Every structure is written in structure tokens, then in C-alpha cells.
Amino acid sequence: MPYRPSAPGPLGLVEAFLRTRNEITDAAGLGRWCAEHGLAGDASAGTYERAMRLREALRSLMLANNGGPAAPEALTLVNGEIGACGLRPEIAEDGLRWPARGLLGTVLGGVVAAMAAGTWPRMKACAADDCSYAFYDHTRNRSGRWCDVSGCGANARMRAYRQRRETSPGAP
């Protein structure tokens, strides 16, 4: 994957978590990832299962940010985890904070803070059917669709071109 700037603020950790499909494959992998990111918490099998369900639910919400279909079950799961993690806003001198516990609370705190700040719609999953890579849309007009314009974007445009050629009358 070519270099793409990270998401700002707490969304950076959310983005990193969403990019772990090949990195976190079991509870031990989750424990290593948490340690690498300075997160304390339980890396049990139960936490691993919850984390993987949350990761895919957030990815579903990011696909909706990129024009895909909304997934009501993803919203239900995320809202349930927010309640289970006990996320509650706190007002501080520098603004609103979402103190969190453990991995899931920290990730969800970043999501909720981004939603409150209005930056969540910029978190997207690649529009390519075979990718869904998480990225932060840094474009001025929020029009980013693919994680990599020269890779996934070029492939999608080529498929669309070929499909138009196949279906247009008089095409060779």
C-alpha cells in the first residue's frame, strides 16, 4: 500500500486498529498489538472475539461513509459496545473528552470523539469490492473512494470501462 497520511488525533489509533486484518488473528496477536500501541487491557479470547466483531462493524460504518449501504446490525453492535465500555463524556478545560478503559473503550472513544468533532465521515473503507482497507479521506472535498487511486481506483475504473464496452451497442 502506498504511503497515505494517518488519520488525525484519536482516529489514528482507530485507523491502525481497522488495518489489522492480517496482523491480529488470535488473542495473542491482539495482546501484541495492544502492547505495541501502549494499551493496557485484557487480551482474552472473549475480548478478541468482541474486538473482531467491533472491527468489522466499524468497517461496515466506514463503507457507509463511502456511499455503501448502511448496516443496522453494525450500529446496534457499536452502540452495545459503547454501553459495555461505559463511555461517558467529560467536560474539560480544553473541551469534551471521552475517557475510556481498555482496547475497545479506547477505540470507541476515538470514534465517538470523531463523530462529535465531525471528522468521522472522513473515515472510509476502500470502495473496491475485494479490498475494504481503512483510510482517512484527506481530500478537500471529501471525495476519496479508494485506498490507492493507482491500485484499487485504477482497477475499478478499468472494470467499469470494460463493462461499458461489453454492454454498449456496436462495441467491438
- Residue-range domain boundaries for the chain: 11-167
Each of the 172 residues of the chain gets a pLDDT tens digit; together they read 456 788 998 899 999 999 998 899 999 999 999 999 998 777 899 999 999 999 999 999 999 999 988 789 999 999 999 999 989 888 989 888 888 778 899 999 999 999 988 999 999 988 877 787 889 998 888 888 777 766 776 766 777 777 788 886 665 5
pLDDT at 3: 64
Q: What is the third-level CATH fold of 11-167? A: Jann2411-like fold (1.10.3300)
Place of cell 468533532: 117
pLDDT at 156: 67
* Assigned C-alpha cell, 156: 475499478
Q: Rounded to whole angstroms, how far apart are CA atoms 21 and 30?
A: 11
Instruction: Assess contact for 44 and 102: CB atoms under 8 A.
Output: no
- What does pTM read for this prediction? 0.83
Please choose, from the candidates 91, 7, 5, 102, the residue with its C-alpha nearest in 3D space to the C-alpha of residue 54: 102
